[in-house]
Amino acid sequence: MAYKNLDLEKTTQLCRKVFASYGFSEADCERITDILLTADLFGIESHGIQRLIRYYNELSWGLVDAHAEWEIVKETPVSAMIDAHSMMGQVAAYHGMAMAIEKAKRNGVGLVAMRGSNHYGIAGYYSKMACDNDLIGLCMTNTSAIMVPTFGKRPMIGTNPIALAMPADPTPFLYDAATTVVARGKFEVYDKKGLPVPLGWAIDEEGVDCTDPARVIRNLNEENDGGIMPLGGPGEQHAGYKGYGLGMIVEICTSILAMGETSDLIVTKGDNHSHISHFFAAFDYGMFGDKAKIKAYFSDYLEKIRQSPKAKGQSRIYIHGEKELENCAARRQSGIPVNEKTFAEIQFVCRERGIDYRPYIGETF
């Protein structure tokens, strides 16, 4: 599929206009747009502007309520439990992590569990918020079920990503990854290319290894049995029970602590409210020692890893976040790549919201 690059500044302005049309505050429009486009800048297109149509749909259905306000159900100096009452996921998550950061600055630790939210984009955005405040940031979310537990065949757990950020020089450590072996988007990519997926990524409705991406996607869409494997693959040989357990840890920190819907109960279609749960944590690592020394010590270790000998045929060892930050620097210059389908969807959303997109992205692809 052909791609063209959209100008970052103009696309930013256009997205803000779209969200402003729902009545979000100016500051929240900036935040939602920044979260959305940061995914594109990082090279995580699956979570970028191609999801604008999804947010449009969710707002239209009432799954997302642009006028909702959250409720602090329980709070201590180091924690809070919040019901987001179907707020836009990005808005709820931004303010949730901001609260965790404030608590960490005052008391060393801030832990915020949240229920009643919606899809919030990339988890790594929120952990990086803490990192930008010279704290360790941790963010998790559950999602609709897609991961099959070891020896099972029905999806019971979401992609359930873990994102952790820790300051370092020259660039921070930014980990953000699903606890499944791969995310659903990879199956769509293989399907479009007409290629089988690698053995070990998925099982079919019988609970048998499956390399047909179309079949995996169909089973997920139709809520049949069959789904995506935890990190480590099927069975025990490559320790898939570890990925399954990590997915469970995310479920504990999100839906269980907040008593929201567990992944197997989350539906992200229609107006029935998705009840996604998140977890935000910030830690002031100054609790443990001199921050400048800890950060320098970590940076030295990262550099030793970068400089360590390479496997045959490899020329570089990456630290988590490096690829994303390099993509970001490049795309700030070159713009945001979108394909024809996404371009048409942006135009559709703007027309529906009464916004003239032509000064921002033009008429033709």
In the complex, minimum distance from the CB of residue 332 to its own copies, in angstroms, rounded to a whole number: 24
Q: How far is the CB of 252 from its own copies (least distance, A)?
A: 5
Least distance from C-beta 28 to its own copies, angstroms? 25
Nearer to its own copies, 34 or 326 (CB): 326
Q: Which is nearer to its own copies, 298 or 348 (CB)?
A: 298
Q: Select 242 or 353, whichever has its Cβ closest to its own copies.
A: 242
Beta bridge partners of 164: 138, 175
To its own copies, the closest distance from the beta carbon of 241 in angstroms equals: 7
Q: What angle do CA 252, 255, 257 make, to 5 degrees?
A: 60
- Among residues 307, 286, 322, which one has the least CA distance to residue 172? 322
When the beta carbons of 6 and 111 are compared against its own copies, the nearer one is 111
Nearer to its own copies, 173 or 343 (CB): 173
Which structure tokens are listed for 306?
């970068």
In the complex, the smallest distance separating the C-beta of residue 68 from its own copies, rounded to whole angstroms, is 21
CA distance 213 to 196: 6
Neighbouring CB atoms inside 10 A of 83's CB total 20
Of 42 and 55, which CB lies nearer to its own copies in the complex structure? 42
Peptide bond into 170 cis (omega under 30): yes
Q: Look at the block and give the residue holding tokens 């990082």.
A: 42
- Write down the least CB distance from residue 261 to its own copies, Å: 10
CA 348, 335, 357: angle at the middle one, nearest 5? Answer: 25
Element (DSSP H or E) covering residue 173: strand 173-177
102-127 as b/e: b if 16+ CB within 10 A: ebbeeebbbbbbbbbbbbbbbbbbbb
Cβ 299 to its own copies shortest distance, Å: 10
Nearer to its own copies, 152 or 362 (CB): 152
Closest to 38 (Cα-Cα) out of 156, 136, 132: 132
Least distance to its own copies, CB of residue 236, Å: 10
Closest by CA to 136, choosing from 144, 126, 146, is: 126
Nearest to 176 by CA among 23, 62, 35: 35
Q: What's the min distance (Å) between Cβ of 326 and its own copies?
A: 15
Please report, for residues 11, 19, 252, the alpha-carbon distance to residue 355 in angstroms, rounded to integers and kept in the order given.
13, 11, 42
Start-to-end C-alpha separation, the chain: 12
Our CB check for its own copies shows the closer of 7 and 209 to be 209
CB 229 within 8 A of CB 147: yes
Judged by beta carbon, residue 189 or residue 305, the one nearer its own copies is 305
Task: Name the β-bridge partners of 75.
Answer: 80
